[in-house]
A = this chain, B = another copy of it.
């Protein structure tokens, strides 16, 4: 039984992690923590979990967590994780950071996009980017996992086979992404109010969203050259779900068969479905599944590759559990659902 700590357990991602681990056959939350709600029961904050997760929330104390847990999940604001993790902690527990602090290999890029200092740059080399479908072999047995962002998970997995196989131009890639509102978090912000979100759609973070360099890092690695791309997120009036509509120019002579072959790299993946119709976020809601579909347009010479995930599951907590399963040698799918109900 893997003993888990969660720091930041009452944010949406942290709470989803509590929920997923409550069904996990080989893991248990032994140290749920929340700075805002320490001392209260988790189910007082999330009444839907009453009877299932009634444990008392503790302070966000990573040292105490490391004494009791085998793995520490961090669901904290940018900059905080990097000030908490150190070699001593990693000597006692594996750390899976759901936040952004260890995702970018280059400290300068991190500090520029996140506008904050990095407090443990010496650990960047130890961290592995926890996207199992790309870096599974590196994740096994590692101590510090940088769990990818929600937009990035969806975007990278959707485009990776095209770049890895040099099927598209590396210039001019555009990712137009759409997210449910849980991606904005549980903070009491005007822009997150029901009446400000409902019955509307808007772009935000245009040309400036922090997930951009993370996507570029991974796709550059796939392509073997430096990629600069356009990423535009949008806010959609729904609770969950991310859809990434990705545009790239096919290289000369690339055929549909080539594309099909490229995506066959996912054929053994338990959480990726290559489908023939455009993905809909509802069909992955509540699951760790990624639905990917693509279409060639002979008129324009473009490929439109589309991916959908649940931002709180494959985009956060579910992928964190997947990473935990890998790190601890469990079956990678344990505790992670495969099928989405409908309507849900």
Contact = CB atoms under 8 A, between A and B. Distances in A.
Interface string A255-295: 00000000000000000010101111111111101010001
Given A172-B249, A192-B194, A341-B48, A238 B275 contact: no
Given A188-B188, A343-B12, A48 B337 contact: no
A238 B200 CA distance: 7
A19 B341 contact: yes
A50 interface: yes
Contacts of A12: 195, 342-343
A280 B203 CA distance: 8
A113 to B, nearest CB: 11
A112 B249 CA distance: 25
Interface residues of A, number: 87
A66 B55 CA distance: 46
A188 B186 contact: no
Interface stretch (A79-87, A137-145, A297-305): A297-305
A285 B342 CA distance: 12
9 A-B pairs closest in CB distance: A48-B340, A200-B282, A52-B339, A195-B343, A48-B283, A207-B297, A202-B280, A176-B176, A239-B343
